[in-house]
Structure formats: C-alpha cells, structure tokens
C-alpha cells in the first residue's frame, strides 16, 4: 500500500485552479486525495470507483463495516445518489447545505456497496469549504470521504495532522490551513420517521429543530459511529494514548473533585494532562501552580465556554498536542451540553471510552 504522499498548498478562499485540477484528475485516476472541508480534513476517493474506495479503508485501517460519507457539489446531485428524498430532508438540505450537515437516505444502486458497507442507505453531504467544492465540481464525481485520520485517532484539523497519520499511505494532500469548525458534520438519519440525529456535530440540534421540530436526538445513547455492527455500544474513538477521563458538574464541585484526583494521580508519580476550556483552567490555577513546578502537569486549553466556536475549532489539535507530550492520564472538562457543546462532549466521552465522572 506504500504511496508517495505529495502536499500542495492552496489558498482556502481562492484556491489555484491548476492545483484543484491536479487533485481532481488524481481522483478520476482512482487516487486517494486528502482535502479540507469546513469541519475536518477528509480522505477522498471517487465514490463510483470501488477499487479506489477500498484504498481508503486500507490507508486508514478502517473496518470495512464502517460506511463512508459521500460528498456532492450541490443539492441538485442528491438524486444521483439517493433513491428517495423525504420532504423534510430536502427542507433541511435547502436550509443548511452547503455546510456541516450529513443526511442518511435510501441509496441508489449506482453507489457501490463498499462505500456504504452493504447498507441500503447512503450518507450524503455538501461541504461548504471552497477547496472541497471546487474539487467536486472539477472532478465531476461524487467523493467518498471519511475523516483523514487513522481509524480511532482524533480527526485532523490541519494538513500536518493528516501527514502524521497517513504519510506514505495516500497520494495527495491539499493543504489550505486549519479548518474552520473543527468538529465533524452532524449526521441526521432520514431512513426512520421521525428523523434521528445520529452524531452531534458542527450543525447544532437547536438549529435543526428550527426546520424539523420533531427530530429525535440519539446523542449519548450510542448509535453513533459503526452503528450497524454495534448499535447502542460505545466505541473507543478519537482515542489518545493517555487514559482520558471526562469530568462534569457544578463549577465548585467540579474543581474540588478534579483537584483531588489530579493530586492523587501526581502523588503516585504520574505525569498528567489537563484538557479544559480557559475558565476551568483558571479555576484550577491553584492546583496547577502547586504541581507544575515539579513538571507533573501539562496544561492544554481548548477555547472557552464563552466562545463555543473556538472551543470546537481547537479541540482536536489540543487533544493531539497534549497526547504528544506523553502524559499518562488526561483530565478533561466540557463546555456543557448545549449547542456545539454536544459535539465536543460526544468526542471527549468517546476519547474517554465512556469514563465520565460527575462531581
């Protein structure tokens, strides 16, 4: 599977057409091309080319049972991939595409089984990123693309993250700098009625409810990621090497519990990391100060509770950076369950393999 991975730098807002054409040609030739979307970087192949798509699974070491998202250039291409589009899906697509929304719809036979892991449905998304859209328009094919990370690693928000995981395994990376949203798209399943949110993401539940008031929320009840092989089961995902635990609760109790647990861990000799929004780090400052001098605590902020967009944007890079310091354990806090907080919480709980401590 060894390949030479080339990186082409492009301007996010005004990508050079020659660079895009080169990547588009690579896709038509059956090659693997990583490209930026507004959520995270994707690893793309021509969705209509089963051999090329099989290469995605090989490069990522992703189980063949885990279906891919098919990216299309605009809502007009829905009917090329979906056998039936319920009125509510069309309404949601018109409201939020291009954007961080993926819809699961009954699939057309033209979509190869390898893309959908043999399911009768297909996940479809129109990304908003200029580079992604230009790539799909120029290639003229739907693009199957999961996040461009090794299976079970955090999703990549920079080209450097993609290289870290996939160098020598893919043909090309379009590097347009860090992604804007930072967490993956929200997945809404329209094969059931009423529709169900399968994965919280860059489009919030609150936003979806403005268009589909009766949408159901499967968040926190499993069913996200590898839904067909392990319904309701929490899959370890976004997994750092360190043992990660999520802490939640009222501010005072949270700080007390966290502080006590961090002291216990460091007293046992472990070097630990704290992954938290700025407010929580500020509240923990006395604990951190008493331990940092001994080099036992690595502190990694991700955004702030007051700025959920920034928290989402910084989350995955913060997780990667903190893990790279080699800490044994990571203590993480969330920005709460509302809005983008739902997606952040979901990713952290998965990274924690379900370990949540309520203070």
By CB under 6 A, name the binding residues for ligand TXA. 37, 39-40, 42, 66-69, 102, 104, 116, 119, 121-123, 125, 127, 145-147, 184-185, 187, 225-227
Residues contributing to the site for Mg ion (CB under 5 A): 147
> Which of residues 147 and 204 has its CB atom nearest to Mg ion in the complex?
147
Q: How far is the CB of 67 from Mg ion (least distance, A)?
A: 11
CA distances from 223 to 88, 144, 149, 196, 314 (A): 22, 21, 21, 10, 25
49 binds, among Mg ion, ligand TXA, none (CB under 5 to 8 A by kind): none
At 358, give phi and psi (nearest 5°).
-100, 120
How far apart are the C-alpha atoms of 211 and 90, rounded to whole Å? 11
> Which of residues 187 and 212 has its CB atom nearest to Mg ion in the complex?
187
Exposed / middle / buried, residue 166 (Cβ in 10 Å: 0-12, 13-18, 19+): buried
> Which of residues 228 and 290 has its CB atom nearest to Mg ion in the complex?
228
Q: How far is the CB of 155 from Mg ion (least distance, A)?
A: 5
Please, are residues 121 and 105 in contact by the beta-carbon 8 Å criterion? yes
> Which of residues 180 and 248 has its CB atom nearest to ligand TXA in the complex?
180
Please, are residues 122 and 112 in contact by the beta-carbon 8 Å criterion? no
> Which of residues 58 and 250 has its CB atom nearest to ligand TXA in the complex?
58
Give the count of alpha carbons within 13 A of 27, CB side only. 31
104 binds, among ligand TXA, Mg ion, none (CB under 5 to 8 A by kind): ligand TXA
Cβ partners under 8 Å of residue 264, min gap 6: none
353 binds, among Mg ion, ligand TXA, none (CB under 5 to 8 A by kind): none
> Which of residues 32 and 104 has its CB atom nearest to ligand TXA in the complex?
104
Cβ partners under 8 Å of residue 359, min gap 6: 247, 248, 249, 250, 253, 254, 256, 257, 258
Q: How far is the CB of 326 from ligand TXA (least distance, A)?
A: 26
* Residue that is written with structure tokens 């690595």 in the block: 298
Three-state DSSP at 349 gives: helix
Q: How far is the CB of 187 from ligand TXA (least distance, A)?
A: 5
Q: How far is the CB of 166 from ligand TXA (least distance, A)?
A: 13
Give the residue nearest to Mg ion (CB).
147
How far apart are the C-alpha atoms of 347 and 277, rounded to whole Å? 15
115 binds, among Mg ion, ligand TXA, none (CB under 5 to 8 A by kind): none
How far apart are the C-alpha atoms of 218 and 3, rounded to whole Å? 39
How far apart are the C-alpha atoms of 26 and 18, rounded to whole Å? 12
Q: How far is the CB of 349 from ligand TXA (least distance, A)?
A: 15
315 binds, among Mg ion, ligand TXA, none (CB under 5 to 8 A by kind): none
> Which of residues 197 and 281 has its CB atom nearest to ligand TXA in the complex?
197
> Which of residues 102 and 300 has its CB atom nearest to ligand TXA in the complex?
102
How far apart are the C-alpha atoms of 2 and 73, rounded to whole Å? 30
Q: How far is the CB of 18 from ligand TXA (least distance, A)?
A: 24
Q: How far is the CB of 307 from ligand TXA (least distance, A)?
A: 21
139 binds, among Mg ion, ligand TXA, none (CB under 5 to 8 A by kind): none
């Amino acid at each position: 599977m060894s390949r030479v991975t080339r990186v082409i730098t492009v301007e996010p807002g005004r990508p050079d057409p020659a660079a895009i054409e080169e990547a588009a040609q690579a896709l038509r030739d059956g090659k693997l091309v990583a490209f930026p979307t507004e959520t995270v970087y994707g690893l793309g192949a021509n969705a209509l080319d089963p051999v090329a798509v099989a290469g995605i699974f090989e490069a990522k070491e992703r189980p063949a049972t885990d279906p891919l998202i098919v990216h299309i250039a605009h809502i007009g291409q829905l009917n090329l991939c979906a056998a039936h589009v319920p009125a509510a899906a069309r309404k949601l697509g018109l409201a939020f595409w291009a954007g961080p929304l993926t819809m699961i719809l009954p699939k057309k036979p033209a979509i190869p089984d390898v893309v959908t892991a043999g399911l009768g449905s297909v996940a479809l998304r129109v990304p908003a990123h200029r580079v992604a859209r230009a790539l799909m328009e120029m290639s003229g094919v739907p693009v199957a693309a999961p996040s461009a990370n090794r299976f079970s690693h955090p999703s990549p928000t920079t080209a450097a993250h993609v290289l870290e995981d996939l160098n020598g395994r893919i043909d090309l990376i379009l590097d347009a700098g860090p992604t804007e949203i930072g967490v993956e798209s929200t997945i809404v399943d329209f094969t059931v009625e009423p529709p169900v949110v399968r994965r919280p993401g860059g489009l919030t539940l609150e936003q979806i409810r403005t268009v589909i008031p009766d949408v159901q929320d499967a968040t926190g009840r499993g069913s996200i990621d590898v839904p067909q092989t392990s319904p309701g089961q929490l899959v370890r995902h976004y997994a750092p090497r360190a043992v990660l635990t999520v802490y939640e609760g009222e501010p005072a109790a949270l700080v007390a519990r966290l502080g006590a647990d961090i002291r216990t861990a460091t007293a046992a000799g472990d070097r630990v990391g704290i992954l938290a929004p700025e407010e929580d780090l500020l509240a923990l400052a006395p604990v951190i100060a008493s331990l940092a001098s001994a080099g036992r605590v690595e502190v990694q902020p991700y955004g702030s509770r007051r700025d959920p967009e920034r928290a989402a944007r910084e989350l995955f890079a913060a997780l990667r950076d903190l893990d790279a310091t080699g800490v044994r354990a990571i203590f993480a806090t969330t920005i709460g369950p509302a809005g983008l907080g739902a997606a952040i919480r979901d990713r952290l709980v998965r990274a924690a393999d379900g370990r949540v401590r309520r203070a």
